[in-house]
Amino acid sequence: MIDVSHLTYDYPGRRALDDVSVTIAPLTITALVGPNGAGKSTFLRLCAALDRPYFGQVKIDGIDIHDDPRAAHQRMGFLPDFFGLYDEITVQQCLLYRARAQGVSSSAAETAARRAADRLGLGDRLREKAGTLSRGLRQRLAIAQAIIHEPKVLMLDEPASGLDPEARIALAQVLRQLRDDGMTIIVSSHILAELEDYSTHMLIIRDGKIVEFTPIGQAAHHEGRQRLRIRLAQEDMRLPAIVQQVADISLIEGDALTAVIDIADDAGRRADVLKQLIGAGLAVSEFAPEHLGLQDAYLNHVHNGTNGATIAAPQAMSGTQVAKGVQS
C-alpha cells in the first residue's frame, strides 16, 4: 500500500532522512517510533507530500505522490501534530468543506459528512461550531476530516497528545475500526503503551534511518506461524540441541534455561512438540506464546543502540531488507 524507496531529505548541514526504504502492507497499523529528532515527522511529512524529498520516491496505492500530489491526497488522510480547525463554522460545514476539498462530489458530500461524523461519535454535534468543542471532540473532528473521503492511507502524528485516558481508549477503538474498514494507518506517538493497543507493526527510526520494522502483537503470528517461549524448571545444557532436533521448528534464540522457537500455528503440533520435549527429559515449566510488546521491542532496540550492539545494523539491515523480511 505504501512503498517508500530511497527517501532522502536534508536540512542545512544535517541529513534528516538517509536512504529510507520500506513497504507497508495494506490493512496494517504501523506505529512510528523513535527518539526526538530521529526523523519521524519528516518521514510523515514526506509521505504526505507536504515536503519534497531530495531523492527517492513514495508511492501510495501505486501513485507517485510527488509526481501527482493532488491524486495522492485524494487517497490519503493526514493529521499533523499541531492541527487546527475552522472554529467559526459548524462541525457539519467543516466536514462538508473537507469532503468537497478532497474531491467528494457535491451530491455525495452530505452523506460522507454524516458517515464520518457517526464514525467518530460526532453525529449529535453537527450544528455546533468547531470552536466550542472540547479537546477530545476537536481531535475526533480532525480525524473525521482526515477520513471523510475514505482514504486508503491514514497518517496521524501524535494523535493522542492532550487527550484524557477515556478519549485515548476511544481513539484506539476508532483506529482499530478504521483498519477493519479497510484503511492502512501510520501513527507516530511517544506513548508506546497506547500504540501497543492497536498497532500491528512497529517502525523504529533513529538518526534518519530505519533500524527496525517488525510485526508486533498478534501480527507477529504471520503466515500461519507463531513464536513460543519454552522455560525449564532448572538449567539444562541440552535444551538448544534438543529443540533443534525437533522437526519443523526453528530455534530463534536459546540458552540452558529458555528457548524461543518458531512453530506452525497449530494446536496439535504444539502438543506434539511439548510431548517430545518432556519425553527427552526436559523439565518444562513454561510453554507459551511469546508476546513481545511494542514497548519491550522498542526498549530492546534503544538499549542495544545505547550499548552500540545492534544499532550499527541499519547499514546492513536497510529498510527494504527489513520490509521484505516482514512480508516473506
**Contact (CB, 8 A) for 217 and 293:** yes
Q: Does 86 bind another protein (CB under 8 A)?
A: yes
**Which one, 53 or 217, has the nearer CB to another protein?**
53
Instruction: Tell me the C-alpha distance between 135 and 16, whole Å.
Output: 31
CB 196 → another protein: shortest distance, Å? 28
**Which one, 11 or 281, has the nearer CB to another protein?**
11
Q: Does 127 bind another protein (CB under 8 A)?
A: no
Tell which positions 133-192 bind another protein, by CB under 8 A. Answer: 145, 149
Q: Which of 10, 110, 128, 236 binds another protein (CB under 8 A)?
A: 10
DSSP, residue by residue, 18-34: EEEEEEE-TT-EEEEE-
Instruction: Tell me the C-alpha distance between 66 and 47, whole Å.
Output: 9
**Contact (CB, 8 A) for 141 and 147:** no
128 CB-near residues (< 8 Å, 6+ apart): 90, 91
Q: Does 248 bind another protein (CB under 8 A)?
A: no
* Segment contacting another protein by CB under 8 A, of 24-32, 34-42, 55-63, 132-140: 55-63
Report the amino acid identity of residue 79. L
**Which one, 148 or 192, has the nearer CB to another protein?**
148
Report the amino acid identity of residue 127. R
**Which one, 77 or 215, has the nearer CB to another protein?**
77
What's the chain's length in residues?
A: 328
Q: Does 111 bind another protein (CB under 8 A)?
A: no
CB 4 → another protein: shortest distance, Å? 11
CB 90 → another protein: shortest distance, Å? 9
Which one, of 240, 239, 266, 261, lies nearest residue 250 by Cα? 261
DSSP, residue by residue, 77-145: EEE-SS----TTSBHHHHHHHHHHHTT--HHHHHHHHHHHHHHTT-GGGTTSBGGGS-HHHHHHHHHHH
Q: Which of 21, 28, 102, 320 binds another protein (CB under 8 A)?
A: 102
**Which one, 70 or 275, has the nearer CB to another protein?**
70
**Which one, 19 or 212, has the nearer CB to another protein?**
19
Q: Does 19 bind another protein (CB under 8 A)?
A: yes
Instruction: Tell me the C-alpha distance between 131 and 12, whole Å.
Output: 38
- Which residues of this chain interact with another protein, rule CB under 8 A? 6, 8, 10-15, 18-19, 48-57, 66, 69-71, 73-74, 76-78, 80, 82-89, 93, 97-98, 100-103, 106, 145, 149
